[in-house]
């Protein structure tokens, strides 16, 4: 199974950016721990601060079994990212590290939420892990 994680603007600064909200861990270290934990999954990771590059990543990842996307601030502004998700058949999960609904009102709107398959918000970096788990078969 191939899953692609796509991170938007300023998430390259995780670990030093607003650590009270986003924590102390940088994403590369976290991503390596995900790769070790889910060694049976082909995990890809892309990050960009540029809206159009995120759209290219979405289009280029449509061969994945799933996309896990944190569009960061573009979540609240980008019709283009919403349209890119609508344009592909791949299953897409929207994630956020912080609980966007307990923050400023402008973070309450998402152009992604109406067009994704699922949403995981507010569990810190664990949000990404929960999103990966959603693609795994249920243990019965």
Q: Which of 47, 48, 61, 75 binds ligand DQA (CB under 6 A)?
A: 75
Select from 36-44, 46-54, 66-74, 86-94 the region that touches ligand DQA (CB under 6 A): 66-74
Contact between 10 and 49 (Cβ < 8 Å): yes
Q: Judged by CB under 6 A, which of 10, 25, 90, 134 binds ligand DQA?
A: 10
Whether 22 is catalytic is yes
Site track 81-120 with ligand DQA (rule: CB under 6 A), x = hit: ---------------xxx-x------x-------------
Contact 54/74 with Cβ under 8 angstroms? yes
38, 46, 76, 96: the active-site residue: 96
Q: Judge whether 2 and 132 are in contact, CB under 8 Å.
A: no
What's the CA gap between 6 and 50, in Å, rounded?
12
Q: Is 22 left (phi over 0), alpha (psi -120 to 50) or beta?
A: alpha
The piece of 25-33, 65-73, 79-87, 112-120 that touches ligand DQA (CB under 6 A) is: 65-73
| Residue 112, token pair as written in the block | 């992604």
How distant is the alpha carbon of residue 58 from its chain centre? 11
Catalytic residue among 22, 74, 111, 128: 22
Catalytic positions, written as ranges: 22, 96
Which residues are near ligand DQA by CB under 6 A?
10, 70, 72-73, 75, 96-98, 100, 107
């Amino acid at each position: 199974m191939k899953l692609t994680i796509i991170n938007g603007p300023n998430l390259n600064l995780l670990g030093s950016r607003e650590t009270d909200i986003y924590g102390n861990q940088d994403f590369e270290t976290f991503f390596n721990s995900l790769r070790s934990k889910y060694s049976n999954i082909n995990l890809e990771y892309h990050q960009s601060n540029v809206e159009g590059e995120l759209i290219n990543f979405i289009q280029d990842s449509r061969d994945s079994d799933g996309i896990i996307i944190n569009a960061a601030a573009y979540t609240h502004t980008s019709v283009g990212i919403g349209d890119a998700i609508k344009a592909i058949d791949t299953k897409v999960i929207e994630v956020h590290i912080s609980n966007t609904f307990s923050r400023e009102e402008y973070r309450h709107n998402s152009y992604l939420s109406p067009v994704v398959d699922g949403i995981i918000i507010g569990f810190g970096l664990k949000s990404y892990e929960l999103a990966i788990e959603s693609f795994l078969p249920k243990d019965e």
